Structure 1
């Protein structure tokens, strides 16, 4: 359930992610410190590629989301219970943090190569716009050599990166991805559980009759959205670093995670570290509140189904015993 919902929202929100990726990678692609705003970037993509420009890289994006969603939601419940039982000192919100972080780490082995392909395809747009950008902004490694070739699809992108840079190219920015996703996953689960506890405490203390007026599903939607928004904003600097390491290709403008962080901070300051924060928050606040609700809803539904099955089994056993008792009588 979680993986399908996650991939569905990846497809729905892909245009927002494209704008975020392009905003964050402007400095490395053009070398210009005059950065476009969100509206300016939307107009740029539309003028160059129309609708297709917003959906470049959607196939690897959805594929990576399927892998991440399956491991994240599949691992989180079982590991959370195990941590609470085997390590009582790590119970509560720390158990939620660790479960979310480990679940996201497992999905990274498939997610990172997909993310590299997706983001490079996003910044390229169509073949014409990529060629024009290379000529206009002098995006090159050596004289006459293009940053990297144009990718026509997911498999062609993967094979090209593997041929030119080897496995290291497909896993570019791997550690920076973990440095972003592990804190994000942990923070999101921890924030969500903390907000649920805080809301429940507030209702019991000040408004005990509020449950009669507020739908629990709607409450889950709001809390999930807030948790996703907070986590997304706090981890935006890590997302900027990850994007630039994965988009730079073989140009090697940044030597690593720490080098990227230092250079972005020195040249662009706080503003550079938080580039694309609004699209990033928008991307996460929309699907996460729905995913949180669906996760709780599916869990509740399964429990009810289990309860109904147990009730049916009990009735069936009574019915089977009934005739035997009559026969004995």
Structure 2
């Protein structure tokens, strides 16, 4: 973008000069379509790569729902159970709704997070810094929850079912009555069939089962991840200034810092994830009457260990998933900026990083 001088009589054609002016951020700069696109692509990419680990986590956390009398299995035991009973495809059950939900969440998360952070810092300076990062992350994730939660319900129910033969075996072995008014839902053949089946049997309440618990998990998680990512980026910037010879590109930085931020946030919010999973997979068999009832029952029957069941695969999932997501976003941003610079355009850097002034941009003129 070039700025033309209003007084051409003062121009000196024989001299090349550079001038900086201040302009206000336009609506197009405030909500940038490419942030939604990149966030959606990155979110779907991360989910697709790490879905088998998520399946393992879901199976571990939902054991008491599926068989309350059986002793909970360890990670190696559950791996063997899924592999022997369902094979490789058992680990990929529910991947379609998983990718759909992650695409929506990734788009809104990255699409709104920077603009929200800028708005908070400008309109409420007292909330600048980590509070702005936390609130921005929470808002971005909340907006995606309207699509993400139904996809999450479908995904997790498909994950615990495994293949058709293993689900039929489970139903007959436990002598469970199935729909329309039975204790357990029938086998789902796909994402849309599952959604229609849940809607028919339970209505919107079924598709949004555990919605409050999902927000109770994801709002703190999303906020913490941005706070940790920002703090790690600050440390990285200090390191770059101290050791400029060891500079790394944005993609590698996003890979490392995103993985650390995601893993730490995932572990701290595991208890909230356990409650959410239990509420969403219980179907029409109501073991927990609500969020508080689930918390109370888990504490009384399983103790603190129950709240951290599945924490290892959850962290194992979020470290690479967050790393791949942030790496993909930073890669797309870096390449877009490079292309823009080659066309002599100044591209606003709307990445998750601290800006000294969000409404002032440098405009170059040759």
The answer, yes or no, to whether TM exceeds 0.5 is yes
The reply on whether 1:30 has 2:64 as its aligned counterpart is no
The reply on whether 1:12 has 2:49 as its aligned counterpart is yes
Q: Match of 2:211?
A: 174
The reply on whether 1:185 has 2:222 as its aligned counterpart is yes
User: Does the aligned pair in 2 maintain the 1:184–1:235 contact within 8 Å?
Assistant: yes
1:212 to 241, 245, 249: 245
The reply on whether 1:229 has 2:266 as its aligned counterpart is no
How far, CA to CA, are the matches of 2:75 and 2:267 in structure 1? 16
State the shift of 1:306 in Å: 4.0
The reply on whether 1:91 has 2:128 as its aligned counterpart is yes
Structural mapping, 1:1-329, within 5 Å: 1-32=38-69, 34-139=71-176, 145-201=182-238, 204=241, 208=242, 210-217=243-250, 218-310=252-344
**SS class of match (2:284):** helix
Unaligned runs of 5+ in 2: 1-37, 347-364
Q: Match of 2:13?
A: none
- Give the alignment's Cα RMSD to 1 decimal: 2.1
User: Does the aligned pair in 1 maintain the 2:101–2:151 contact within 8 Å?
Assistant: yes
State the shift of 1:146 in Å: 4.5
**SS class of match (2:189):** coil
How far, CA to CA, are the matches of 1:33 and 1:90 in structure 2? 49
State the shift of 1:299 in Å: 3.4
Q: Deviations over 1:90-137 (max 9, x none)?
A: 111111111110010010001111111110111111122112112323
How far, CA to CA, are the matches of 1:140 and 1:271 in structure 2? 31
How far, CA to CA, are the matches of 1:257 and 1:112 in structure 2? 16
User: Does the aligned pair in 1 maintain the 2:57–2:314 contact within 8 Å?
Assistant: yes
User: Does the aligned pair in 1 maintain the 2:53–2:313 contact within 8 Å?
Assistant: yes
How far, CA to CA, are the matches of 1:112 and 1:48 in structure 2? 28
TM-score, L = length of structure 2: 0.79
Q: Deviations over 1:270-306 (max 9, x none)?
A: 1110111111111110021232233334334444444
User: Does the aligned pair in 1 maintain the 2:228–2:261 contact within 8 Å?
Assistant: yes
User: Does the aligned pair in 1 maintain the 2:240–2:246 contact within 8 Å?
Assistant: no
Question: Quick check: which one's helix share is greater?
Answer: 1
Unaligned runs of 5+ in 1: 319-329
